[in-house]
Amino acid sequence: MITVLMVDDHPILRQGLSGVLSLEDDLSVVGEAADGETAVKAAQRLRPDVIMMDLRLPGISGMEATRQILAHAATKHDGWTPHIIVLTTYEDDDSITEAIEAGASGYLLKSATPDEITAAIRATSLGHSILAPSVATSLVRRMQRVPEPRVLSPRETEVLRLMVAGRRNTEIAAQLFVEASTVKTHIEHIYAKLEVRSRLEAVAKARELGLLS
């Protein structure tokens, strides 16, 4: 028998899903929780095999509850290995990534069918990871996304070359026939584009990226 803990702040959803799972011979809902703190305590007390976790909960979030539950189980070393399936309406990249990093074994949307939910519970109880098709697609696209190139303007490149040569702001301004304040602005833009905070870091990053070749 696979035991399940339902965590959602909407009682109708909890009761409806509990009713669906009660029709399955191998699934048993052993408890419900309407907020994050109650979910953590219930999980520690009931030790369910699978936890259906909403992300947006009163008190601590479903994400934080997931972290706390898994951290507690990991410290006990007594054989209890809960599997957490996020069941939510949110399918943005940040929520998906954060849930997976928190240790969730599955990520389903509330639009999932009863068959999809019961299949996910069975699969995660065996140690498999389950993602809704749209969630899997979003995650793959994020992992394949090519970072935007750090492109400096021609003038910023000139300023950077003079920085590499050891020129001070006033010397750069004189050589380029601009105001020192303009040079300072160019340097700020260089720092922002290269994600650095000092001349030394800017020079090192520029060489690493081949911007001065």
Per-residue pLDDT for the chain (213 aa), expressed as one digit of tens each? 999 999 999 999 999 999 999 999 999 999 999 999 999 999 999 999 999 999 999 999 999 999 999 999 998 778 899 999 999 998 887 788 888 888 999 999 999 999 999 999 999 999 999 998 878 777 777 666 655 556 788 888 899 999 988 899 999 999 998 888 889 989 998 998 888 888 888 888 888 888 776
Q: Where in the chain are all domains bearing CATH 1.10.10.10?
A: 154-209
Alpha-carbon distance values, 84 to 89, 180, 183 (Å): 16, 57, 53
CATH number of 154-209: 1.10.10.10
Residue 151: the pLDDT is: 76
- pTM for this structure? 0.66
Segments of the chain assigned to CATH 3.40.50.2300: 2-144
Place of tokens 């800017």: 202
Rounding to the nearest 10 degrees, give the CA dihedral for residues 186, 189, 190, 191.
Answer: 120
Identify whether the C-beta of residue 131 lies closer than 8 Å to the C-beta of residue 107.
yes
How high is the pLDDT of residue 150?
A: 63
d(CA 68, CA 36): 10
Distance CA 36, CA 151 (A): 45
Fold of the domain spanning 2-144:
Rossmann fold (3.40.50)
Which tokens go with 55? 């992300």
Residue 55 to residue 90: CA distance in whole angstroms = 8
- Cα distances from 180 to residues 5, 127, 197, 200, in angstroms, run 64, 62, 19, 20
